Amino acid sequence: MTSTNPPTEPQATASSDGLLDFPAASAVKLEPHLPPVTSTSTSTNTSTNTNTNAKKPFVTLTFATSLDSSLSLAPGVRTTLSGPQSKAMTHYLRSRHAAILVGVGTAVADDPGLNCKILSPFVAEAGVREQHPNQPRPIILDPSARWEVNEQSKVIQLARLGQGLGPFIFVAKEVSSVSEERRAVVESVGGKFVHVKSVEGEGFAWADVLRAIKKEGLDSVMIEGGGSVINSLLTLEQGGEQELVDSVIVTIAPTWLGAGGVLVCPPRVIGKDGQPAPPVRLRDVSWHPLGEDVVLCGKILR
């Protein structure tokens, strides 16, 4: 008995210049889960969402996970999960958001660039290869101002080269308490430290974070991690943080990382009756194979 394979669509590619190409046929499948493109924006990213909720930006929660729901092999250990196709997808998503947000743990452990390396579609047809002009504003949640950002930090180097934007670092301390040296480094590339009021001593409330992002003129934000950031957004509370998330996009890699990793596993909430509250579930779900990975898109059921 013979079988025929279905036609394959164009695959994402990378080149020697480090730029990634994400096919339009794959991009269109993600469109229902992304902030709509607008022609104007108060940020440097011209592809952002005009959100009907004036108090917060459009929020996309996205991350890559193993089959056992792990983000990394251990806390502080950088672990590559995404294949080349889903990596290109991630950078395409960055081109569609005004900001990209990570926690300070990710900044310290990974020294991420937090930029978009997608090939610009506007000049590719002319045979010219350039980086996509829509760069997300990096936002780092650093309540205690412990990230020792300096000239060697990747996000600073990329901003200095014009390949990314300077970071906005959200701190609970007064900005004046951050060392002058660190402030000078960040401000030299167009970034800044932003004071956000804290709760419970050192942490932030998500509503305050999103209000601060909106106040900076950023209408959409892509939240990438790490584990504590993701789990806090997925914590099920009646009328709580989960309602701040507009879209969820998860890359699932065909691997197990084993016990001891950093898990996406929000704490179980117990209701007033002493029984577990209903679990978080997605609606409007779609699945998209990308190489050996599978991408899950959906919205949190409310």
Q: Domain segments of the chain: what residues?
A: 45-300
pLDDT at residue 272 in the model: 80
Neighbouring CB atoms inside 10 A of 215's CB total 11
Distance CA 96, CA 41 (A): 12
With residues binned 3-state (H G I as helix, E B as strand, rest as coil), the percentages for the chain, rounded to 5, are 25, 25, 55
Q: In terms of DSSP bridges, do strands 99-103 and 20-21 run parallel, antiparallel, or are they unpaired? A: unpaired
Q: How confident is the model at residue 78 (pLDDT cuts 50, 70, 90)?
A: confident
Instruction: Write out the two tokens for 143.
Output: 């309540």
Bridge partners for 222 per DSSP: 60, 100
| Coil, strand or helix at 300 | strand
Q: How confident is the model at residue 285 (pLDDT cuts 50, 70, 90)?
A: very high
* High-pLDDT (> 90) share of the chain, %: 65
Q: Residue for token digits 């210049």? A: 17
Return the higher-pLDDT residue of 277 and 41.
Answer: 277
pLDDT digits (tens, 9 = 90+) for 18-38: 899 999 999 999 999 999 876
Helix (H) and strand (E) counts in the chain: 7, 13
pLDDT digits (tens, 9 = 90+) for 238-252: 445 567 899 999 999
Mean pLDDT of the chain: 86
Q: What is the CATH number of domain 45-300?
A: 3.40.430.10
Q: Which of 30-34, 250-254, 265-269, 287-291 has the lowest mean pLDDT?
A: 265-269
Per-residue pLDDT at 190 exceeds 70: yes
Reported as type and span, the H/E element at residue 77 is: none
Q: How confident is the model at residue 148 (pLDDT cuts 50, 70, 90)?
A: very high
Q: Are 69 and 264 in contact (CB under 8 A)?
A: yes
